[in-house]
Chain A
Amino acid sequence: MSLSASSSVETVREPGSPLSGATGEEVAAKIEGRGTWQLAWARLRRDRAAMIALGVIVVIILVAIFAPLFATVTGHGVNQQFRNTGLSPDGLPRGPNGTFVLGTDDQGRDVLVRIAYGTRISLFVGVAVTLIVVVIGGLLGLAAGYLGGIVDTLIARLIDIVLSLPYLMFAISLVSVGFLGGNQGKLLGVKGLPIIVFVIAVFAWAAIARIVRGQVLSIREKEYIEAARSLGASSWRIMIVDVLPNVTTQLIVYATLLIPVTIVTEAALSFLGLGIPPPTADWGQMISESQVLYQQAWWFLFFPSAALVITTLAFNIFGDGIRDALDPRLERI
C-alpha cells in the first residue's frame, strides 16, 4: 500500500521540485539518468512552436488512423458520389454546408472524408520512404565513410551522380512506365503505392548518405575509434557499435525534415497525374482535380491545399525543433 502511494507521488512530482521523500541513492540515480535523449527532450519541451507542431502531428496521425470514422459519422463513403445532394442542378460542387462540412468535389463526393482518407497516403509515403532512405542512405554513408578506399570512391561517385540527375524528370518517367506497362502493383490495397515509394526512395537516399559519410569521415579519426581498433574489434563492430550511435542524432534530424519533403513529392507526382491513380483519395490528386473548377468551387482547391501545407509546416517546425534540441551548440535563435 505504502509502496503504491510513494510511486504515485513519484509520477505526480514536478521535474524541478525538491526530491523530498527520496533517499540519497535515488537522487544519484535521477542525476545519472539524464542522458542525451532526456536532455534533448527537456529542451524540446521548452520549445513552444515545436510542441504545438507535435500536437498537430499527433492529430494528423489520429485522423489517418481513424479515417473510416469520418465516413461513418457523416454517412458518406470515401468514393461515394452524391449526384443529387452533393451537386447543384448544373452539376457544380456544393460549398461547405451542414451535410458536407467542407463541401463536395466535382463528382459530388465529400471533401472532408476524402481529405481524411488522403492523410493515410501522405503519411504512409512520408514515413515509409523516410525509413527506407535512412536505412539505405545511413548504411551506405557509414560504409563509404569508414571503409574508405574503393568502396568510398564508388559510393561517393554514385552519390554525386544521383544528386546531379534531374530527379523529378526521372521520377515521372519511371512512374509513367510503371503505370502504362500495366504492372502497377498494390501495397495495403492501394494501387500505385509501391512504385511511388520506390521512385521517391531511389533518389532520396543520396542526400542522407552524403551527410552520414561526411560525419563518419571525421568520427573515424577520433581516439576512441583508434582504441577500439587496437583492441582488435572488427570493422563491422566498430561501425555499428562505435560509429553509428554518434551519427544517430544527425540521422534523426534529417529524417524528420525528410518526411515533409517526401509528402510534397508524392503530392506533386499525384498533382501531375502520375501518382496514386483515381479513385483513391489523395491530396495531390484532389488539388489537381480542383484546377478546372477552382473558380466556382474554392473549397475544393483550398481545403486539400490547407491539409497539405499544415502537414508539411508541422513536420518542418517539429524538425527544426528537434535539430535545435539535439544540437545544443546551436543557440536557440
Chain B
Amino acid sequence: MARFLIRRILLGLFVVWLTVTLVFLIFFVGPGPQDVARRLAGKQATPQQVHLVLLRLHLNQPMIKVYWHFVWNQLLHAKLYSYIHDQPVTTVIREAFPLTLSLAIGAAIIWFVLGVLSGVLSAVRRGSIWDRSATATALFFYSTPVFVLGLILLYVFYFQFSRAGIHVFPGQGPGAVPHNPLTFFKSFLLPWMALALISAATYTRLTRGSMLEVMGEDYIRTARSKGLLERRVIYRHALRSALTPVVSQFGIDVGTLLGGAILTEYTFGIPGLGWTAVHAIEQNDLPVIIGIVVVATAAVVAANILVDIFYAFLDPRVRLH
C-alpha cells in the first residue's frame, strides 16, 4: 500500500510537471518570445513598450532560462503574478475556487442520487415503461451539450418565469461568494440543474448496465435461492458490487470538475476556475493559465489515486502494487 501510494504520487507529480511544461511550450515556445511580448503589450503598443515587456519577463534570454525562471522562481515559490490584473495568481485562484467547488459539489450530489436511483429502478424493472422512459430521457440528456441545456434553462426558467412574474431563478450564476447564503444558493439552482441533468444521464446508463451485469451473476442466484427477500438481494448484494464502477467514475468526474467546469461556468457567467481560465487564455495571461492548469491537473491526479484506493477497500480481490 505504501509503495503503491509513493509510486502513484510520484507519477502524479510527473504528470503535473509535464502539464506545466506543455503549457509553457504552447504559450512561449509555440508563437516565439517576440510574439508573446507583442501580444502581452497590447495592440497599440510601441516597439519600445514591447521591448519593455520582453525585458520584464526575461523573454530575451534563452528559452531554458526563461523556463527556469518561470518554474523555479515563480511557480515553486508561488510568486506568479497575473500579467493583466496585477494580482498574485494564488489570490485569483482563491477567489475563483469556492465558486467552482460549490458548483461541482452541489451538482455532483444531485446527479449521483438521480442517476443511481433511476439506473437501479431501470435495471430492476427492466423492460417496463419506467425503464424505457428513463433510458430514453437519459439518452436525450446524454446527447445534449451542457451549454445548450444551460441556455435553454435560462430561457425557460429565468426569462419566461420572470416575464410571468416569478422571480425564483436569477439570470446568471453568482458573481462572487456573497454574504447572503440564500441568494448564493438560488443563483446556483440553474447551473446545478444543467450540470446535474447531463451528468445524471451518464450515471443512469452506467448504473443500469452495471446492475444488469451483476444481477446475472451466480451469487445473486445463490442469494435468491437462500430465500432472501428480493429487496435485500437487490440492495444488499447486487447494488454493492454494481456501484463500484459507478463510484470510481464519480470520483474521476468530480476531480475533473474541480479543475473548472469550463462550459457551465462560461454559460452562466460564474467566475470560477474554468471561466477565469477561458478569459486568461483570451488575454494571454500565462501565469493565471498555468496556475489553473496545475490545480486542474492535481485535482484529476488526486481523484485517480483516491479512486484506486477506494477500489482496494471495496474489492478485496484488488491488490495495489
Residues of B within 8 A of A200 (CB): none
Residues of A within 8 A of B297 (CB): 164-166
How would you classify the secondary structure of chain B's contact residues: helix, strand, loop or mixed?
Answer: helix
Do A176 and B31 touch (CB < 8 A)? no
Please indicate which of the listed interface residues A164, A172, A309 has the most CB atoms of chain B within 10 Å of its own CB.
Answer: A164
Flag whether B282 is at the interface (Cβ < 8 A). yes
Flag whether B142 is at the interface (Cβ < 8 A). yes
Flag whether A3 is at the interface (Cβ < 8 A). no
Q: Mark B149-181, 1 if CB is under 8 A from A, else 0.
A: 001101100010000000000000000000000
Do B155 and A295 touch (CB < 8 A)? yes
Instruction: Given A272-B262, A313-B143, decide whether A166 and B300 contact each other with a Cβ distance below 8 A.
Output: yes
Flag whether A35 is at the interface (Cβ < 8 A). no
Do B155 and A301 touch (CB < 8 A)? yes
Flag whether B42 is at the interface (Cβ < 8 A). no
Closest beta carbon of chain B to A299's beta carbon, Å = 11
Do A181 and B296 touch (CB < 8 A)? no
- Tally chain B residues at the interface, Cβ within 8 Å: 48
Residue of B nearest to A288 (CB): B147
Residues of A within 8 A of B301 (CB): 164
The interface-forming segment of A25-33, A213-221, A239-247, A260-268 is A260-268
Please indicate which of the listed interface residues B212, B266, B301 has the most CB atoms of chain A within 10 Å of its own CB.
Answer: B266
Closest beta carbon of chain A to B155's beta carbon, Å = 6
Do A181 and B140 touch (CB < 8 A)? no
Instruction: Given A166-B293, A169-B296, A305-B148, decide whether A260 and B143 contact each other with a Cβ distance below 8 A.
Output: yes
Interface residue from B139, B147, B263 paired with A313 (Cβ < 8 Å): B139
Please indicate which of the listed interface residues B127, B260, B278, B304 has the most CB atoms of chain A within 10 Å of its own CB.
Answer: B278
Residues of B within 8 A of A5 (CB): none
Closest beta carbon of chain B to A147's beta carbon, Å = 23
Q: Mark A144-178, 1 if CB is under 8 A from B, else 0.
A: 00000000000000001100111011101110110
Residues of A within 8 A of B289 (CB): 173
Instruction: Report the Cα distance A44→B208, complex, angstroms.
Output: 22
Flag whether A287 is at the interface (Cβ < 8 A). yes
Instruction: Report the Cα distance A274→B148, complex, angstroms.
Output: 17
Residues of B within 8 A of A272 (CB): 262-263, 266, 278
Do B281 and A173 touch (CB < 8 A)? yes
Residues of B within 8 A of A165 (CB): 15, 19, 22, 297, 300
Residue of A nearest to B259 (CB): A166
* 13 more CB-based (< 8 A) A-B contacts, given A164-B297, A166-B259: A165-B15, A169-B293, A172-B262, A177-B27, A271-B145, A271-B263, A290-B151, A301-B152, A302-B152, A309-B143, A312-B143, A313-B139, A316-B142
A-B contact list, 25 entries, CB within 8 Å = A165-B19, A168-B263, A169-B277, A173-B293, A180-B39, A181-B31, A260-B143, A264-B145, A268-B145, A271-B147, A272-B262, A274-B281, A290-B151, A294-B151, A301-B155, A308-B145, A308-B148, A309-B148, A312-B144, A313-B139, A313-B143, A316-B139, A316-B143, A333-B126, A333-B127
Going nearest first, the 5 A-B pairs with the smallest beta carbon separation are A166-B296, A313-B143, A312-B143, A181-B31, A305-B148
